[in-house]
Amino acid sequence: MKQIARTPKDIGHALRAARKAKKLTQAELASRSGIWQRTVSTIETNASGAKLDTVFDLLAALDLEIQIVPRSKMKPGELEDIF
């Protein structure tokens, strides 16, 4: 699974998609990551203001990592077509 994330909302959507792909509930992911289910829900809908440590806890629980790469030259409309 590869997704481009340029905003906190994009990260939230990517985490939600990964959780669903693994057939996990928010409660199961919360248990695996050591955070509250309510926090998982908040991050999935709008990760703005989420602590970076919390995002990394969720990524680890989903067996994911972040890669830092140069920004692509896609236009906004083309980026939406990926999802």
Asked if residue 78 is part of any domain, the answer here is no
* Structural domain containing residue 62: 8-67
Q: How far apart are CA 80 and CA 83, in angstroms?
A: 6
Q: Which residues, at least 6 apart from 74, have a Cβ–Cβ distance to it below 8 Å?
A: 4
20 — pLDDT class (breaks 50, 70, 90): very high
Number of structural domains (the chain) is: 1
Percent of the chain topping pLDDT 70: 88
Model confidence pTM above 0.95: no
Q: What's 27's domain CATH number? A: 1.10.260.40
Residue 72 DSSP label: P
Confidence category of residue 4, pLDDT binned at 50, 70, 90: confident
Residues 6+ apart with CB under 8 A from 49: 8
